[in-house]
Amino acid sequence: MSHSAYGIPISWFLTVGALLFCIGLFGMMVRRSAIGMLLSIELMLNAANINLLAFGSYLRVPTIAGQVFAIFVITLAAAEAAIGLAIIINIYRLELHIEADKITSMKF
């Protein structure tokens, strides 16, 4: 599973995927705005998509399963963004900001 007809090793794709995932994870930790966190989550989902597509076409027996999985993930990411933005808009109406670390109405 090293080279395909394109001459690009799979490790390149996997590296891009891993970098994208790390950027997303880093963004999730340092971002304070809920929108920024949502974007970071999308990056992580797309990192998984790159992995799925690369593995699907580079394996010894190429399989369609990776692409099918990726299409489901894209669909779910869209649904997740819609619900996430709705929740964020609701928070904006209540709090007039979307800084996730400043929303602390509950303490024990």
Residues of this chain that interact with other proteins (CB under 8 A) are 17, 21, 24-25, 28, 34, 37-38, 40-41, 44-45, 47-49, 51-52, 54-56, 59-63, 65-66, 68-69, 72-73, 76, 79-80, 83-84, 86-88, 90-91, 93-95, 100, 103-106, 108
Q: Identify which of residues 4 and 100 has a Cβ nearer to other proteins in the complex.
A: 100
Q: Identify which of residues 5 and 94 has a Cβ nearer to other proteins in the complex.
A: 94
Q: What is the DSSP string of 26-62?
A: HHHHH--BHHHHHHHHHHHHHHHHHHHHHHHHHSSS-
Q: Rounded to an integer, what distance in angstroms lies between the CA atom of residue 47 and that of residue 101?
A: 26
Q: How far is the CB of 2 from other proteins (least distance, A)?
A: 13
Cross-strand partners of 73: none
Query: What's the number of CA atoms in the CB half-sphere (13 Å) around residue 26?
Result: 6
Q: Identify which of residues 9 and 100 has a Cβ nearer to other proteins in the complex.
A: 100
